[in-house]
């Protein structure tokens, strides 16, 4: 009975929906216990939703980084709502039961949201020190970062850790001072925290360009961000538009040629009971389509080694809180794919043409 219900959700009448809609599933169906089953039902659809690969110039890949409990996951919820996603509960991207129990993010999550003709691939990262390796992998596949700092507490230990990773990869973070609506937070306090963060940048060896970071003020809890200090904006201005505009303005589009052979570095991995291993990463170059023949490849002391050969069974991308099927993707985009059972995090997926040439490996330490 359940199987029939899930299949009906992804019938042809349900699947023919524009990808501009960030959330394709009813709120009552999006919860951790049903997520994998819904994902598999989508994967069993007879054909993907028609789409084309995106112009890299319209893409922005951004990681949200912060010390634990400084508000980045709440911020992600508000950004999703701003762009039309129907969020059924708080911490909508946290799908692991332990994440909900502890109220922290353990595994990085990627979702895309549309904004003024651009596609923003947003990555929510763990803030707890125990999961710092996740941050290392994520910052290697984005061009920008939002550094969320509690305006009351200021930068703390994990702030330094995640910022160091972002600076190491050449990112120019956007500083977001969160929780400015609290009575104890004044404009003077925000100036003080901004100075502390500047000193932290300098001590970590930031370049002159990185030191010239944009600063925004926000209350993720109330759902607004502002380019100028304010305790509480008017009701018609309580939104995340200033932050979304800042992402488009300050974060560079991803580099990568659509003409070169397809390559993708695997940065995340999960398992689906129907499709098997799901590999997620940023497309370094080229275009990938459903049905293309691909190799899993890893670097060794003697060069490169093929892990497995296969073909792309499904291409997927998360839109808001829903995983949807796509038929192709191009350089710069962050996608998920199924079709290979052996490659793991840190491996490269490439098509046959790329496997005959050279590789641009990104080492994940």
Residue 219 lies in a domain: yes
For the chain, the domain total comes to 2
Q: In this structure, are 274 and 191 located in the same domain?
A: no
Residue 282 lies in a domain: yes
Residue 124 banded pLDDT, cuts 50, 70, 90: confident
Whether pLDDT at 92 is above 70: no
The predicted model gives 290-311 an average pLDDT of 87
Q: In this structure, are 107 and 15 located in the same domain?
A: no
Q: In this structure, are 179 and 70 located in the same domain?
A: yes
Q: In this structure, are 94 and 151 located in the same domain?
A: yes
Among 32-36, 118-122, 162-166, 193-197, where is mean pLDDT lowest? 32-36
How much helix, strand and coil, in percent to the nearest 5, is found in the chain?
30, 30, 40
CA dihedral 218, 208, 116, 81 (to 10 degrees): -30
The model's pLDDT over 212-249, given as tens digits with 9 standing for 90+, comes to: 999 999 999 999 999 999 998 888 888 999 999 999 99
The contacts of residue 13 (CB under 8 Å, 6+ apart) are none
Q: Which of 201, 223, 250 is the last residue of a domain?
A: 250
Residue 52 banded pLDDT, cuts 50, 70, 90: low
In angstroms, what CA-CA distances link 150 with 25, 129, 194? 33, 17, 11
Q: Which of 250, 270, 297 is the last residue of a domain?
A: 250
Q: Which two tokens stand for residue 53?
A: 């690969």
Q: In this structure, are 215 and 136 located in the same domain?
A: yes
Q: In this structure, are 32 and 99 located in the same domain?
A: no
Residue 86 banded pLDDT, cuts 50, 70, 90: low
Element at 308 (helix H, strand E)? strand 303-311
Q: Which of 222, 250, 278 is the last residue of a domain?
A: 250
State the pLDDT at residue 45.
Answer: 45
Helix/strand/coil (H, E, C) string of 53-73?
CCCHHHEEEEEEEECCCCCHH
- Neighbour tally for 349: CB within 10 Å: 27
Residue 288 bridge partners (DSSP):
329
The model's pLDDT over 4-30, given as tens digits with 9 standing for 90+, comes to: 444 444 443 333 233 333 333 333 333
Whether pLDDT at 48 is above 60: no
State the pLDDT at residue 5.
Answer: 44
C-alpha to C-alpha distance for 111 and 115, rounded to whole angstroms? 13
State the pLDDT at residue 158.
Answer: 86
C-alpha to C-alpha distance for 257 and 263, rounded to whole angstroms? 11
Whether pLDDT at 139 is above 80: yes
Element at 217 (helix H, strand E)? strand 215-219
Residue 355 banded pLDDT, cuts 50, 70, 90: low
Q: Mean pLDDT highest for which of 98-107, 233-242, 325-334?
A: 325-334
C-alpha to C-alpha distance for 256 and 100, rounded to whole angstroms? 37
Q: In this structure, are 41 and 83 located in the same domain?
A: no
- Cβ atoms of 155 and 67 closer than 8 Å: yes
Average pLDDT, the chain: 79
Residue 71 lies in a domain: yes
Q: In this structure, are 10 and 72 located in the same domain?
A: no
C-alpha to C-alpha distance for 281 and 345, rounded to whole angstroms? 9
Q: In this structure, are 39 and 102 located in the same domain?
A: no
State the pLDDT at residue 170.
Answer: 95
Whether pLDDT at 95 is above 90: no
Count CA within 13 A, CB hemisphere, residue 124: 30
State the pLDDT at residue 72.
Answer: 84
Q: Which two tokens stand for residue 45?
A: 């659809």
Comparing 36 with 304, which gets the higher pLDDT?
304
Domain range enclosing 243? 57-250
């Amino acid at each position: 009975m359940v199987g029939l219900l899930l299949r009906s959700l992804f019938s042809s009448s349900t699947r023919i929906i524009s990808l501009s809609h960030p959330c394709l599933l009813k709120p009552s169906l999006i919860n951790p216990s049903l997520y994998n089953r819904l994902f598999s039902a989508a994967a069993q659809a007879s054909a993907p939703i028609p789409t084309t690969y995106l112009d890299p110039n319209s893409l922005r890949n951004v990681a949200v980084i912060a010390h634990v409990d400084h508000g980045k996951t709440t911020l992600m919820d508000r950004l999703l709502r701003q762009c039309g996603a129907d969020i059924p509960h708080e911490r909508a991207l946290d799908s692991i039961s332990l994440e909900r129990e502890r109220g922290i993010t353990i595994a990085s999550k990627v979702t895309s949201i549309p904004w003024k003709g651009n596609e923003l691939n947003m990555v929510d990262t763990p803030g707890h020190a125990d999961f710092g390796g996740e941050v290392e992998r994520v910052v290697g596949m984005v061009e920008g970062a939002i550094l969320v700092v509690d305006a009351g507490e200021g930068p703390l230990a994990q702030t330094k850790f995640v910022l160091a990773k972002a600076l190491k990869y050449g990112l120019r973070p956007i500083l977001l001072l969160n929780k400015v609506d609290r009575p104890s937070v004044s404009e003077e306090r925000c100036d003080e925290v901004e100075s502390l963060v500047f000193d932290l940048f300098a001590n970590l060896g930031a370049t002159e360009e990185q030191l010239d970071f944009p600063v925004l003020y926000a209350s993720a809890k109330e759902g607004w961000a502002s380019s100028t200090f304010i305790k509480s904006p008017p009701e018609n201005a309580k939104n995340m538009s200033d932050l979304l505009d800042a992402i488009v303005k300050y974060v560079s589009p991803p580099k990568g040629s659509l003409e070169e052979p397809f390559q993708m570095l695997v940065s995340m991995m999960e398992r689906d009971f129907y499709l098997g291993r799901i590999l997620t990463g940023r497309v370094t170059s080229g275009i990938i389509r459903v049905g293309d023949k691909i190799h899993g490849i890893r670097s060794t002391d003697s060069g490169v080694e093929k892990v497995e050969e296969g073909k792309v069974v499904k291409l997927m991308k998360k839109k808001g809180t829903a995983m949807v099927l796509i038929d192709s993707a191009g350089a710069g985009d962050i996608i998920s794919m199924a079709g290979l059972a052996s490659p793991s995090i840190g491996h490269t997926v490439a098509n046959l043409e790329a496997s005959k040439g050279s590789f641009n490996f990104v080492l994940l330490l």
